[in-house]
Amino acid sequence: VKFVSYAPLAAALLAAPPAHAFVTPPSSTVVVKNQSKQQYSPLSSYKKHELAFTNNIPTTTTLRSSSSSDINPYSSPQLDTDALLKYATSAITELSLFAATFQLLDVAFSQLLNLDSIPVPFAFLLFYGCSLKSRVFNPLNNQRPDRSKAVDGEGSSGFRDRVMPSWTPPGVTFPIMWVLIIGPIRAYSASLIVSSTGSFLCLPIMAFMLHLTIGDIWNTINNTEKRYGAAVIGVLCVVLSAANASYQYYGVDPFAGKLLGGTLIWLCTAAALITDTWRLNPSSEEGGLVPLYPVVGEAETSFMWFGNGGDDDEQ
């Protein structure tokens, strides 16, 4: 009997992989680190691809809501009653502070200083300051165009930051008019009224303060909020309030009334400029004009005194 050794054949069969074995290709072999040892698992590749496929499936759906910048507020314009309420509140606040200040001055000059008349130089400086800085009594952001940028012909809030008429005066014209011409005329005419009445708190002076207050609110509408339509109505109110103050002045001192009335020439020019600017800045590409009232969504009216202020400059 001849014995045949099957040891080499058994070794070969054990060394060969079985037909049903799962062989991981080298390119998809995943190294799984387990503390200090590195182990190779054929199922790691399958789990890796399974996780990759799962991660590509969105598990949540995010809904994007349209912001105010995505919606044209003029497509269905609504009156901004909140803005109107804040305009009225700021006007009452400014006029009340002016009245209180003038009452204190009257008491100081008549009872504390025992003066029969108010010095004209003091009244001139006081009203010149009011003409340029009346907005310190207004809680809104009454930002003026930047004077240095206007002189250089650059854009700033309210000037060259929108399409403006071709006949717009050079930027240097505005500080010259407000600081060197309009301001002194206002101050001198008001000092004549105070000299005639012997009191700061009187109807003509408060009519002048109303004119300044409306001008401050108009600066908020035109420069800060850029409400081109409402700015047209606002500047017309500025003109009418100046005419009313001139009329009140004329009843006390005709010369003072004529002086203040002379500022209407510049104010009417400014009104024409604002109106033409409104025409050149339509609400849409189709050329529709912006409504002549504050519209919800075109701007946000906020009080500067409560942390929403901005830079300003001379009127």
What is residue 12's predicted lDDT score, i.e. its pLDDT? 54
Tens digit of each residue's pLDDT (9 = 90 or more) over 173-220: 888 999 999 999 999 999 999 999 999 999 999 999 999 999 999 999
pLDDT at 5 over 90: no
8-17 residue pLDDT tens: 555 555 555 5
Is residue 222 within 8 A of residue 229, CB to CB? The reply is no
pLDDT, tens digit, for every residue of 263-285?
A: 999 999 999 999 999 999 887 66
User: CA of 181: how far to CAs of 130, 186, 223, 226, 313, in Å?
Assistant: 14, 9, 22, 26, 17
Estimate the crossing angle of helix 120-133 against helix 203-219, to 10 degrees.
30
In the prediction, which pLDDT does 304 show?
79
Residue with tokens 């003072």: 256
79: helix, strand or coil: strand
Per-residue pLDDT at 85 exceeds 50: yes
| pLDDT higher than 90, residue 262 | yes
The region of weakest confidence among 36-50, 234-248, 282-296 is 36-50
Examine the pLDDT at 171 and tell me if it is beyond 60. yes
Q: Report whether pLDDT(42) > 70.
A: no
**Rounded to the nearest 5 degrees, what angle is found at the Cα of 77, between the Cα atoms of 72 and 78?**
125
pTM over 0.85: no
Q: Could you give the count of Cα atoms lying within 13 Å of 170 in the half-sphere of its Cβ?
A: 6
Q: Is the pLDDT of residue 40 over 60?
A: no
79 phi and psi, to 5 degrees?
Answer: -65, 130
Q: What is the pLDDT of residue 287?
A: 67
The two tokens of residue 152 are 């250089």
Interval 216-240 mean pLDDT: 94
pLDDT for the residue numbered 35: 43
3-class secondary-structure state, position 33: strand
* Whole-number average pLDDT of the chain: 77
